[in-house]
Chains A and B, each alone.
Chain A
Amino acid sequence: MAPTILQEPQGIWSGARLMLLNKRAWALLQEMDKLPGAQVAFLCDARGAVLAVWYTTEVARATAERVGACIANLFTAFAGHSFREIEILFGDRLVYARTLGNAFLAIVCAPNTSLSLVRMTCNVAAAPFETDKELQGHLASGQKVDIGIRLG
């Protein structure tokens, strides 16, 4: 099982809210274990703040965090623009990112990873997170600014 770093108590994330977030984030990111080629995955809020990180043992934690910071910046740059999913080349890696209601999921994959498999794994894994109204409400209330994210 690949290492997963979950949210610590801070800001709006404490008590039952934090438990709900971490429960959903954990379940979502554990699905990445079944995705061949996935190397690092991030869950971010709509402002680009990283909420959880999953990474394979082939990747150092520091590297995973650095990539996470870059991707968080990317999300911040997209703030205000509506999109459902993005596929980009990041160095020699593929990055697939999609919205999860009021959050984002980004996965860094080996270059020859099947994007169809990535998209379907994300669809299936994301459903419980995306449709949890209570969690989505917490995520929305955590946004101090309206950045215009909506499902496409």
Chain B
Amino acid sequence: MSASRLTHVVFKLSSSELTGEINLKPEAWRILSQVNGTRTLGEIAQAVGMAPETASQIAETLLKARILEVAGEGASSIAATVDAAFFKEIARELARAIGPLATVIIEDAIAALGEKPDSFPRERLAELVEQVSEEIREPNKRLRFQQVMLEAIRKV
């Protein structure tokens, strides 16, 4: 697993018995103290004000030292990706603003971001919404679309 992809992963403290002395740097302790088996590493990095790359490197070290382990494939993938229903909601709202081409525009935008609908990362939702909203030429309709989608993003 590459360090950059670790931001999507949910970690928990290792259940294996540790032996010997363990020295932790303050940065590692900041991450470790936030690990709870439900938050992604990206969320933890944001909470402690740390760059995702730094947090990923620390998590990788803690993984190798068997202090941390991945909380589970299911948990990490649910936490990181977007449900198909969300794309239907974007399409419905976008169609209200620009008409029947909404679905095509969303598909193109997802592809332009180098992603796929069935594995779209939750943390890139705002990017997607902002990108498709640029297709709405009427400022009031664009604002209304962003307003509705912001509420939807907060609920994801």
Contacts and interface: CB of A to CB of B under 8 A. Distances in A.
A120 B42 contact: no
Interface residues of B, number: 22
Given A110-B46, A112-B42, A116-B127, A123 B51 contact: no
Contacts of A121: 150
Contacts of A116: 126-127, 129-131
A124 interface: yes
B146 A124 contact: yes
A120 B130 contact: yes
B150 A120 contact: yes
Interface in A93-130: 110-114, 116-117, 119-121, 123-124, 127
B46 A127 contact: no
Interface string A118-148: 0111011001000000000000000000000
B82 to A, nearest CB: 14
A74 B153 CA distance: 32
Contacts, number: 48
Contacts of B49: 39, 58, 92, 110-111
A120 B45 CA distance: 22
Contacts of A81: none
Interface hub of A36, A110, A112, A113 (most chain B Cβ within 10 A): A112
A112 B126 contact: no
Contacts of A112: 42, 45-46, 50-52
B107 interface: no
B143 A123 contact: yes
Contacts of B149: 120
Nearest to A111: B51
B150 A36 contact: no
A37 interface: yes
Nearest to B45: A112
B51 A92 contact: yes
B115 to A, nearest CB: 14
Interface of A: 34, 36-37, 39, 58, 92, 110-114, 116-117, 119-121, 123-124, 127
10 contacts: A36-B46, A37-B46, A111-B50, A114-B123, A114-B126, A120-B130, A120-B146, A120-B149, A124-B143, A124-B146
